[in-house]
Structure 1
Amino acid sequence: MVASCLGFVLIGALQALYGPAIPALREEFGLAPSTAGLALSAHFVGGVAGVLLFDRRYGRSGNRRILGTSYLLMATGAAGFALAPNWPLALAAALLAGLGFGGIDYGLNQLFAVGFGHRSTAMLNILNAHFGIGAILGPALIGAVGADHYPALFLAFALVDLPLLLCLRGVRDQAPQPPADTEGPRPAALALRSVLAVFVTLYVLHVGIEAGVGGWEPTHLQSVGYGAGLAATATSVYWLMMTVGRFLVAPLALRLSAQAIITVSCAGMTACLLLAAVPDLAPYAYAGVGLFIAPIFPTGLPWLHRSAPRARRAGALVIAASMAGGVAAGPALGKVIEWSGVRAVPLLLSAVSAACLAATLWLTRATRTKDGP
Structure 2
Amino acid sequence: MSAKTLPPQTSTPAMFTRPAVVASCAGFVVIGALQALYGPAIPALRTEFGITPAVAGLGLSAHFAGALLGVLLFHRLRGTAGNRQLLGGSYVLMALGALGFALSPAWPLSLAAAFVIGLGFGGIDYGLNQLFSVGFGHRSTAMLNLLHAHFGIGAVAGPALAGRLGAENYPWIFGITAVISVLLLVTLGGVAQKEPSPEKQADRSPGRSQVLPVVAAFIGIYVFHVAIETGVGGWEPTHLETFGYGATAAATATSAYWLAMTVGRFLAVPLTLRFPAPAIVIVCCLGMAASLLLATVPAAAPYAYLGVGLAIAPIFPTCLPWLNRAVPTLSGAGAYVIAASMIGGVAFPPPLGTAIESFGVQSVPLLLFGLAMICVLLSLWLSRSTSDADSAVPASPPAEAPSADGEAR
2:10 matched to which residue of 1? none
1:148 aligns with 2:180: no
Q: Find out whether 1:80 has 2:100 as its counterpart.
A: yes
Q: Is 2:335 aligned against 1:319?
A: no
Shift of 1:189: 2.0
Contact 1:265 1:292 in 2 (8 A): yes
Shift of residue 178, structure 1, vs aligned partner: 3.3
CA contact (8 A) 2:326 2:390 kept: no
Choose the corresponding residue for 2:353, options 312, 334, 337: 334
Cα shift at 1:330: 1.7
Query: How many Å separate the matches in 1 of 2:170 and 2:391?
Result: 52
Supply the RMSD in Å over aligned alpha carbons: 1.3
Residue aligned with 1:175, SS: coil
Structure 2 CA distance for partners of 1:91 and 1:142, relative to 1, 3 Å: same
Cα distance between partner residues in 2 of 1:117 and 1:151: 41
Structure 1 Cα separation of the partners of residues 74 and 84 of structure 2? 12
C-alpha separation in 2, matches of 1:6 and 1:59: 26
Specify the code of the residue in structure 2 equivalent to 1:303: W
Q: Does 1:33 align with 2:71?
A: no
CA distance in 1, matches of 2:118, 2:391: 40
Q: Give the superposition deviation at 1:184.
A: 5.8
| Counterpart-to-counterpart distance in 1, 2:211 and 2:50 | 50
Q: Distance in 2 between matches of 1:335 and 1:366?
A: 35
1:45 positional shift: 0.7
- Match runs of 1:111-126 below 5 Å: 111-126=131-146
Q: Structure 1 stretch 100-109 or stretch 51-60: which is displaced more?
A: 51-60
Q: Give the deviation of 1:205 after TM superposition.
A: 0.5
TM-score by length of 1: 0.98
Residue number in structure 2 paired with 1:165: 185
Displacement of 1:157 = 1.2
Report how far residue 188 of structure 1 moved: 2.2
Aligned to 2:9: none
Query: What is the match of residue 18 of structure 1?
Result: 38
Q: Distance in 1 between matches of 2:28 and 2:296?
A: 33
Residue 370 and residue 8 in structure 1: after superposition, are their counterparts in 2 closer, same or farther (change >3 A)?
closer
Give the one of 281, 286, 295 matched to 1:267.
286
Distance between the aligned counterparts of 1:309 and 1:175, measured in 2? 13
| Residue of structure 1 equivalent to 2:309 | 290
Shift of 1:370: 7.9
The one-letter code of the counterpart of 2:266 is F
Correspondent of 2:328 among 295, 304, 309: 309
- Aligned partner of 2:77 in structure 1 is 57
Q: Tell me the distance in 1 between the aligned counterparts of 2:379 and 2:69.
A: 27
- CA drift at 1:40: 0.4
Higher helix share: 1
Match in the other structure for 2:373: 354
Instruction: Find out whether 1:3 has 2:3 as its counterpart.
Output: no
Q: Is the 8 A contact 2:146 2:265 kept in 1?
A: yes
Instruction: Judge conservation of contact 1:119–1:254 (CA < 8 Å) in 2.
Output: yes
Greater relative contact order, per chain length (Cα 8 Å cut-off, separation 6+): 2
The one of 145, 155, 158 equivalent to 1:138 is 158
Report the 3-state secondary structure (helix = DSSP H, G, I; strand = E; otherwise coil) of the residue aligned with 1:176.
coil
Q: Which amino acid aligns with 1:128?
A: H
Which of 116, 125, 130 is the aligned partner of 1:110?
A: 130
The residue type equivalent to 2:157 in the other structure is: L
Unpaired runs of at least 5, structure 1: none
**Structure 1 equivalent of residue 400 of structure 2:** none
Deviation at 1:7, TM superposition (A): 0.2
For residues 56-101 of structure 1, the C-alpha deviation after alignment (integer angstroms, 9 at most, x for no partner) is: 0113201000000000000100110111111111000000000000
Q: Which amino acid aligns with 2:175?
A: L
Sequence identity of aligned pairs in percent? 62
Deviation at residue 179 of structure 1 after TM alignment? 3.3
In the TM superposition, what whole-angstrom CA distance separates every residue of 1:290-330 from its partner, at most 9, and x where no partner exists? 00110000000000000000101000000001111111122
Q: Is the 8 A contact 2:102 2:174 kept in 1?
A: yes
User: 1:345: how far off?
Assistant: 0.4
> Does structure 2 retain, via aligned residues, the 8 Å contact 1:44–1:98?
yes
1:201-248 alpha-carbon deviations (Å, 9 max, x no partner): 110000111111111111111121111111111011101110011111
Which residue, 354, 357, 366 being the options, matches 2:385?
A: 366
Residues 110/96 of structure 1: CA separation in 2 closer, same or farther (3 Å cut): same
2:81 pairs with 1:96: no
Shift of 1:372: 5.6
Task: Name the count of aligned residue pairs.
Answer: 372
Residues 1:368 and 1:184: Cα distance change in structure 2 (over 3 Å)? farther
Q: How much does 1:151 deviate?
A: 0.9
Question: CA offsets per residue over residues 5-26 of structure 1, 9 Å max, x none?
Answer: 0000000000000001111111
4+ residue stretches of structure 1 with deviation over 6 A?
Answer: none
1:184–1:369 contact (8 Å) kept in structure 2: no
TM-score, with structure 2 as normaliser: 0.89
Amino acid at match of 1:160: I
Distance 1:169 1:283, change over 3 A: same
Q: Which amino acid aligns with 1:89?
A: L
Report if the CA contact (8 A) 1:184-1:306 is conserved.
no
CA–CA separation in structure 1 for the residues paired with 2:331 and 2:78: 9
* Partner AA of 1:246 in structure 2: R
Distance 1:133 1:370 in 2: 33
Q: Is the 8 A contact 1:63 1:171 kept in 2?
A: yes
Which structure 2 residue ranges, 5 or more long, are not aligned? 1-20, 393-409
C-alpha displacement of 1:288: 0.4
